[in-house]
């Protein structure tokens, strides 16, 4: 009995807290000697992509006239953005709602329309935001890891976490004095945690800066995490 407790303590200490041994009986020992393992690898990477949402909001008594005014502003913004081919520009949300007086009668209309800028060319985004803020308001500015960089880093982490998983399986095999082990189940999960908060228009305002000055950018970092979860059977 004491030897059994010592063996269990050894496997828990050597492998990690993410390891557990399923209960087994002597008659089914070979069938149920399955150990579950967990491994993790991560890299800190610089955010290399910016996503900015700008908007215009106007009121008018005539909804058709209001729509024309909104479209003129948006078209003007799209024309300016064409000078920055490295920046992808797309339409965002657009909604129109009525305004009421005290008698709950419609007195006019309000339209909120957005455009979205997305690019890994952070300098171009900064310059374009500085120009567009003359006619549009900055709703939010967020930095993230681009798809290309995320895939490249994840591929590296998959290799790292797989090696770590195999090392832990080998430690468990030695601790239980098994001749070898076989992989039963293996699953890889990935996650990205950003350390850069979303910047909103109120935080970007600077009365001392010229209206068309480039918007200062601090992209920050994100942590890309890859986790391996699986089980091996000791032989």
Rounded mean pLDDT, 94-119? 93
pLDDT value, residue 27:
46
pLDDT band at 114 (very low <50, low <70, confident <90, very high): very high
Rounded mean pLDDT, 129-145? 93
The pLDDT of residue 2 is above 60: no
* Domains in the chain with CATH codes: 15-48+145-198+214-235 (3.30.110.170), 49-144 (3.30.70.2970)
pTM over 0.85: no
pLDDT digits (tens, 9 = 90+) for 142-188: 999 999 999 999 999 999 999 999 999 999 999 999 999 999 999 99
pLDDT value, residue 197:
59
Rounded mean pLDDT, 42-47? 95
3-class DSSP string for the chain: CHHHHHHHHHHHHHHCCCCEECCCCHHHHHHHCEEEEEEEEEEEEECCEEEEEEEEEEEECCHHHHHHHHHHHHHHHHHHHCCCCCCEEEEEEEEEEEEECCCCCEEEEEEEEEEEEEECCHHHHHHHHHHHCCCCEEEEEEEECCHHHHHHHHHHHHHHHHHHHHHHHHHHHHHCCCCCEEEEEEEEEEEEEECCCCEEHHHHCCCCCCCCCCCCCCCCEEEEEEEEEEEEEEC
């Amino acid at each position: 009995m004491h030897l059994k407790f010592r063996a269990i303590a050894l496997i828990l200490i050597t492998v990690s807290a993410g390891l557990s041994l399923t209960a087994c009986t002597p008659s089914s020992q070979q069938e149920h000697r399955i150990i579950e393992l967990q491994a993790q690898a991560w890299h800190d990477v610089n955010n290399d992509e910016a996503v900015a949402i700008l908007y215009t909001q106007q009121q008018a008594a005539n909804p058709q006239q209001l729509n024309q005014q909104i479209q003129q502003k948006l078209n003007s913004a799209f024309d300016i953005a064409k000078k920055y081919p490295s920046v992808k520009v797309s339409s965002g949300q657009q909604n129109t709602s009525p305004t009421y007086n005290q008698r709950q009668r419609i007195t006019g209309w309000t339209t909120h329309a957005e455009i979205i800028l997305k690019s890994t060319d952070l300098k171009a985004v900064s310059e374009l935001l500085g120009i567009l803020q003359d006619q549009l308001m900055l709703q939010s500015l967020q930095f993230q890891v681009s798809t290309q960089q995320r895939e490249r880093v994840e591929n590296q982490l998959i290799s790292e976490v797989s090696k770590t998983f195999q090392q832990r399986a080998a430690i468990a095999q030695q601790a239980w004095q098994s001749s070898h082990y076989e992989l039963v189940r293996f699953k890889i999960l990935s996650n990205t945690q950003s350390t850069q908060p979303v910047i909103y228009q109120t935080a970007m305002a600077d009365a001392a800066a010229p209206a068309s000055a480039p918007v200062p950018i601090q992209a920050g970092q994100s942590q890309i995490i890859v986790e391996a979860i699986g089980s091996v059977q000791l032989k």
